[in-house]
Structure 1
């Protein structure tokens, strides 16, 4: 509807512009040699009235936007009436006004479709016949009139054929895009599962007593998995951004604590690259989407690990005007100035011979730029060959400092010991990997492949969203909560789009993690769930649900 409203308004604006040009043209004719102003004065008066009515019609479109067929046809009649009057009164000198007829004909067809093109064509032919009947100069040149009639028929027919081809091509493109979306959604889910399970299995290995050689092999597995995960996430991020499904969720954030967490999460990747991450502490608070900002920082750090290996990387915060900027410096070889304008293009990479083994396809900075635009942030890059590169995330809005939440680190360390977890996952490998990791953290795990006839006295429910044809993770959680009579803390793990799952939750107070889940994310989520208030009545989570006696 918005597209149609704008198209009709554009047509109204163009009508006023063309009428103004016609007024100037006809007015100028009276001052040509051999011409008299009085001859064209009626036309000038008529076009002036035409302009006035055009302005009224435009205001009606602004006041009552939408699709009104009668108003569109009225606009055509208005255009052809004004043009016909000019052609009748102006004679041969006004013949260029025929171009307005062609514009009205094609303009309505191109903007509103073949139906309006047909109506405009019929009205145009009728207008030409009327002008012919009322104009002696036209009657003296019948073949000219025949040419105009043929032109007014052939051009719209050809335009109709082009419109039909365009419509069919558009439908095919939409169908192909939907098919691509379905394929990517399914491929995304199917690829997340093995990446997720491999990550959890390697985390289990890390929790085991290993020799030096075995630990080195686990490092290699983790490093390869990290590269696959980063490429996978980049492609998915780009796909989601292209579909316009990313909406920032702003909240106040302790920037110093956030950056310290990013350093901790990237410490292993930094160690593999031989990079020393140095963080300059800060105490600022900003208002951003933490998840999107984390993706931006991780993508920049990933580039540092690839192109500035074996060198230190400094992360700091600087004041920039009324806001703040996160600046990430590396001491790599730098980037030549001619490459800097192209760095944010998709798949653009500055390649050198020794980069042949560097992982990646050149999506990281493109994603950083587009996520920054979503949050109103700018991204700037400064670099000098042989001196390194600085990437700045600019425009972080400052907010007042919030009261910190005290954390008992000693209590946090053993918070999962003895925690009873009901784990429901229909993929056997993922179930085994998750169960093994939870048990190494001290949890007591009830592992289930299906939610059918499920009974549990767990402290926390962890369920995959897609549990086959019988139930979803949400239905499984609802069933267990109804059975227990209180809102058992719950966590959904999913390989589907998080937005889809959030829409299905309806304020059920269920946490969500997107696969592949990093062990640190899973551990932090379980700790947070265990600290939730106990015995929350089920009716507070799902109003209208009455616990069974």
Structure 2
């Protein structure tokens, strides 16, 4: 059986080329490229007609030479637009004047054989409106009417055919007006669609945030129950509750990720990142899920440093590994990297049942799940690979999926740029010794009482001395570290809390922010990369690891 490979369903090169020729990426550059093709064809038509007619006058050949001279002008326009991109009204009007000037000259001095040139006049008029908007459509229409008027005055054939002139004038008025009405209707529909999409994204983000709060609290309470001296049967029930919570948490994480990406506010922050750190972090996060799925989760050491956004790359890897654990239980999942064409590729391979060929073209679609008749239910809503595709596009990375039925599936993230900068070994992925946390004086700030109680109880079980606050504390104490929610109510954020506490203490106390919002946005609003941001719901292992890291860093 041959292997089937499905990437991100990229457009074929010729479709992409036509798109660029049409100017969707840069309307003015697209117009300049089209002009480079049309003007020579235009001149070939004129010369061919004059030679075939055999009755060409001197003025006819003058017109042909004038159009021929417009070719280098078109090249100069293209060069200027390519070198100085942007919206310059004078340049657009100048180019339009040149276009209509050449067509006016041909229609004015030529006979009825030059009347087909009017099709180009109409095409250029509509094209300017579609590319640049209603204002330019009005200007182009006026220039087209001036072309007809001048051609009628100087062309005796047109002068003697009033009904032809009336037809040209009416067509020049009606077609652009109809196009403009369609554009306005399309813009209205597009604005409504954008508003609906924004409302959906806001709803998903808010619903995800609100529902993650109680899930976060339940997760921490469950962790406390594990150490409550339960019998084997009760411990198994706690494990089942925790497993279900992790599934729901993964769902809300996906909903929040897709809502954040839909908002268009995600901007990658490129920096040197050691791939081993990203892989180790994901391995740690999914270790329990791998045990539940009876999967051997392994990673090949990869000490390469690449230039990328660590948080976004981690999101991609998390979703790929999560899919592998769900769809390839009782098997091996391997994470590693390799060099490809001077760049680095991050790969995830599993030995699951594979994906049937008919599904490969749709696996990156939103809410699409590979389901066959009689298949078992799989957790999730089919957003994982869609998130991978979107984030990969943001980071300019290529994502390919190769799957063979009854053999396994491989997902490759390629295009990572190697970085020559060396980094210190990350402490984040290391396991903290219990004595490091015990005895810590922790300031815990959280406006949700359930989350506050759950977090405080867990910290106390670890031997920490906890002071709980629902807002910014008014008095000072000898805290070793502070943990704060981001939204504290009353237009107060965790960033404000950290700033006030550090000012009260007169030192840079280690701080951790836990939030139900997008981590990237919170980190950007915080403006301090040294403060770790954790997304709710978090596991006790993650919290303890980050807490230990902050203390070790402060001591060093």
TM-score normalised to the size of structure 1?
A: 0.86
Q: Is the 1:27–1:40 Cα contact (8 Å) retained in structure 2?
A: no
- Partners of 2:359 and 2:413 lie apart in 1 by 19
Question: How many residues are aligned here?
Answer: 531
Q: 2:443 aligns with which of 403, 422, 443?
A: 422
Q: Are 1:126 and 2:146 counterparts?
A: yes
Deviation larger for 95-104 or 285-294 = 285-294
Aligned to 1:282: 301
- Partners of 2:150 and 2:278 lie apart in 1 by 76
Q: 1:384 to 1:448 in 2, by over 3 A?
A: same
Q: 2:195 aligns with which of 175, 181, 184?
A: 175
Aligned to 1:208: 228
Q: Are 1:105 and 2:105 counterparts?
A: no
How far residue 243 of structure 1 moved from its aligned partner, in angstroms, is: 4.2
How far residue 95 of structure 1 moved from its aligned partner, in angstroms, is: 0.5
Q: Is the 2:346–2:414 Cα contact (8 Å) retained in structure 1?
A: yes
Q: 1:126 to 1:395 in 2, by over 3 A?
A: closer
Q: Is the 1:4–1:66 Cα contact (8 Å) retained in structure 2?
A: no
Q: 1:454 to 1:372 in 2, by over 3 A?
A: same
Q: Are 1:184 and 2:204 counterparts?
A: yes
How far residue 438 of structure 1 moved from its aligned partner, in angstroms, is: 0.8
- Partners of 1:111 and 1:444 lie apart in 2 by 65
Q: 1:303 aligns with which of 323, 342, 357?
A: 323
Q: Are 1:83 and 2:103 counterparts?
A: yes
Q: 2:496 aligns with which of 438, 461, 475?
A: 475
Question: Unaligned stretches of 5+ in structure 1?
Answer: 536-549
Aligned to 1:546: none
Q: 1:175 to 1:258 in 2, by over 3 A?
A: closer
Q: 1:454 to 1:371 in 2, by over 3 A?
A: same
Q: Spell out the pairing of 1:25-424 with structure 2 (5 A cutoff).
A: 25-32=45-52, 34-36=54-56, 40-62=60-82, 64-244=84-264, 245-247=266-268, 249-253=270-274, 255=276, 259=279, 262-277=282-297, 279=298, 282=301, 284-287=303-306, 289-315=309-335, 327-372=347-392, 374-375=394-395, 378-394=398-414, 404=425, 412-424=433-445
Q: 1:68 to 1:357 in 2, by over 3 A?
A: closer
Aligned to 1:545: none
- Partners of 1:359 and 1:520 lie apart in 2 by 23
User: Aligned-pair RMSD on alpha carbons?
Assistant: 3.2
Q: 1:484 aligns with which of 502, 505, 517?
A: 505
How far residue 419 of structure 1 moved from its aligned partner, in angstroms, is: 0.5
Q: 2:539 aligns with which of 511, 518, 530?
A: 518
How far residue 430 of structure 1 moved from its aligned partner, in angstroms, is: 0.8
- Partners of 1:13 and 1:394 lie apart in 2 by 32
Deviation larger for 150-159 or 236-245 = 236-245
Question: Unaligned stretches of 5+ in structure 2?
Answer: 1-22
How far residue 369 of structure 1 moved from its aligned partner, in angstroms, is: 4.3
How far residue 431 of structure 1 moved from its aligned partner, in angstroms, is: 0.5
Q: 1:129 to 1:387 in 2, by over 3 A?
A: closer
Q: 1:6 aligns with which of 20, 26, 46?
A: 26
Q: 1:507 to 1:293 in 2, by over 3 A?
A: closer
Larger Rg: 1
What is the SS of the residue equivalent to 1:110?
A: helix
- Partners of 2:553 and 2:510 lie apart in 1 by 7
Deviation larger for 298-307 or 377-386 = 377-386
- Partners of 1:292 and 1:11 lie apart in 2 by 37
Q: 1:469 to 1:454 in 2, by over 3 A?
A: farther
What is the SS of the residue equivalent to 1:496?
A: coil
Q: 1:342 to 1:112 in 2, by over 3 A?
A: closer
How far residue 210 of structure 1 moved from its aligned partner, in angstroms, is: 1.3
- Partners of 2:95 and 2:434 lie apart in 1 by 74
- Partners of 1:442 and 1:27 lie apart in 2 by 93
Higher relative contact order (CA 8 A, sep 6+): 2
Aligned to 1:443: 464
